[in-house]
Amino acid sequence: MGNLAKALTVAGSDSGGGAGIQADLKTFHQFHVYGMSALTAVTAQNTLGVHGVYPLPAEAVANQMQQVIEDLGVDAMKTGMLFNVEIIEAVAEQIRQHQVKNVVVDPVMIAKGGAKLLLDEAVKAIVEKLLPYTLIVTPNLPEAEHLTGRPIRNVAEMKEAAKAIVAMGAKHVVMKGGHLPADEIVDLLYDGEQFFTFVHQRVNTQHTHGTGCTFSAALTAELAKGSTVYEAMERANRFIIEAIATAPGIGRGHGPTNHWAAIKLSI
């Protein structure tokens, strides 16, 4: 345990356990990384949808971050549902004050059922306050469209959007291509100079609740352990594909992925 890697998630609670803080902590654990959390909001949620959103005061988020960073230490952190401008500003300020490295930002905006997990006016705060501290930002296509204000209909437009997002201050972009209607999914990594594409077959399933959270948590866990961005991307990508392919199939709606999925560490 001497070299135990430690990761922090700053995100909302999904009472259904498939997304949010719960998905992140389960994934950190599966990667043998010590997981810590700063809760931003409570959602009353299950596989059928979001039935209530109860944000916490920004001060409560900042205080949780401060206490774990100053005592336990954070090798990597991720953000998920941040909900409003005040919380985003508080999170950015904690990152700045404590010079937290390896920051992954999953710019969660809308739950699969359509519920707002980020207020409209807060998109600008993600760009202006958070992206300058971000090592990897992981938008899905609708999120990348909101960040850039342009439509994304193919891989060429994904690359253009990735360039625009790096120009906003993030060091790397992982743009997830699951929302393009094709049998092959293309996930894109851009490091400001080169594009790397990760292409895989779509699994035919409705159990994709929390895929974005689980993927970005895996990325964060690998960074906490000292992997390079490329290695972390490759391992997180394999993990999420396996987690979707072996989803337990619970709940009456969009069920969770399998957070016990085998981690394929060999590249």
Ligand X SMILES: Cc1ncc(COP(=O)(O)O)c(N)n1
Q: Is 244 in the site for ligand ADP (CB under 6 A)?
A: yes
Q: Which residue has the tokens 């430690």?
A: 6
In this chain, which of 88, 105, 108, 241 binds ligand X, going by CB under 6 A?
Answer: 108
Q: Quick check: is 35 catalytic?
A: no
Helices (H), the chain: 20-30, 58-71, 85-98, 123-125, 141-148, 155-167, 211-224, 229-245
Least Å distance, CB 11 to ligand X, is 6
- Of the pair 101, 264, the CB lying nearest ligand ADP is at 264
Closest CA to 259 of 206, 198, 210, 204: 210
With respect to ligand ADP, which residue has the nearer C-beta, 62 or 185? 185
Query: What does 14 bind: ligand ADP, ligand X, none (CB cut-off 5 to 8 Å by kind)?
Result: ligand X
CB of 72 to ligand ADP, least distance (A): 28
Instruction: Kindly report the number of other CB atoms within 10 A of residue 243's CB atom.
Output: 28
Rounded distance between C-alpha atoms, residue 74 and residue 51, angstroms: 32
Which strands sit side by side in the sheet containing 184-190, from one edge to the other?
49-55, 34-46, 6-14, 76-79, 103-105, 136-137, 172-175, 184-190, 195-201
Of 26, 129, 176, 225, catalytic: 176
211 binds ligand ADP (CB under 6 A): yes
CB 260, min distance to ligand ADP, A: 17
Phi, psi angle pair for 237, to nearest 5°:
-65, -45
Among residue numbers 24 through 43, which ones bind ligand X (CB under 6 A)? 43
Q: For the chain, how far is it from start to end, CA to CA, in angstroms?
A: 25
Q: Which of residues 195-234 bind ligand X (CB under 6 A)?
A: 209-213
212 is catalytic: yes
Q: By 3-state DSSP, what share of the chain in percent is helix, strand and coil, each rounded to 5?
A: 40, 25, 35
Least CB distance from residue 19 to ligand X, whole Å? 4
- Dihedral, 147, 243, 214, 222 alpha carbons, nearest 10: -100
Residue 20 binding partner per list ligand ADP, ligand X, none, with a CB distance cut-off of 5 to 8 Å that depends on partner kind: ligand X
Candidates 51, 124, 179, 264; binder of ligand ADP (CB under 6 A) is: 179
- Binding residues vs ligand X (CB under 6 A): 11-14, 19-20, 43, 45, 80-81, 108, 111-112, 117, 209-213
Q: Which residues in this chain contact ligand ADP in the complex, by CB under 6 A?
A: 140, 176-179, 185, 187, 202-203, 205, 208, 211-212, 215, 237, 240-241, 244
